[in-house]
Amino acid sequence: MKIRLTVNGEPREADVWEGESLLFALREHMALPGSKNACEQGECGSCSVLLDGVLVCACLVLAAQADGHEVVTVEGLAENGRLSRVQEAFAEAGAVQCGFCTPGLVVATADLLRRIPEPSEDEIREALSGNLCRCTGYVKIFDAVRMAAGL
Ligand code: FES
Ligand code: FES
């Protein structure tokens, strides 16, 4: 089936099969490999994207469900060809080691700061609770969120 959607502000279309995930469609049909596939069952958050402004795991959304909707991936967060403040903060704080979890954490952080510009510690932990990282121990990740928020 053919789907038409807006991805990172641009109209896109793709031929997908009915059971295909949005994550697969983004990575394999739209040349957007930023969203990572780690668990494919909604456990790790590495595939986090915004669907009509709502944070979702792209591995749990059918590509067909995104037909006619708006998707923002980590690639869409850069502003005028420059890293967003969240992306910059992750790099500056040393919150990236292997980097596999980073796209999902960056999208989740951008979502958090759009909803709550100055989050509390509890709000940061709650917002990122669906994103697993094997490398950093989370300390640098929380530093990056605070840095991006200017806290
Ligand atoms: S790949 Fe989607 S939550 Fe892990
Ligand atoms: S930096 Fe490696 S999983 Fe998070």
136 lines ligand 2 (CB under 6 A): yes
38 lines ligand 1 (CB under 6 A): yes
At 81 the pLDDT is 87
Q: How many Å lie between the centroid of ligand 2 and the Cα of residue 88?
A: 16
Q: How far, in Å, CA of 29 to CA of 21, rounded? A: 11
Maximum alpha-carbon separation in the chain:
47
Q: Which ligand ends up closest to the CA of 141?
A: 2
At 57 the pLDDT is 98
Per residue in 90-135, pLDDT (tens digit) is: 999 999 999 999 999 999 999 999 999 999 999 999 999 999 999 9
Distance of CA 59 to the CA centre of its chain: 12
Mean pLDDT estimate for the chain:
97
Q: Give the number of other Cβ atoms within 10 Å of residue 32's Cβ.
A: 21
At 80 the pLDDT is 86
98 lines ligand 2 (CB under 6 A): yes
Per residue in 40-73, pLDDT (tens digit) is: 999 999 999 999 999 999 999 999 999 999 999 9
5 lines ligand 1 (CB under 6 A): no
Average pLDDT value for residue range 16-30: 97
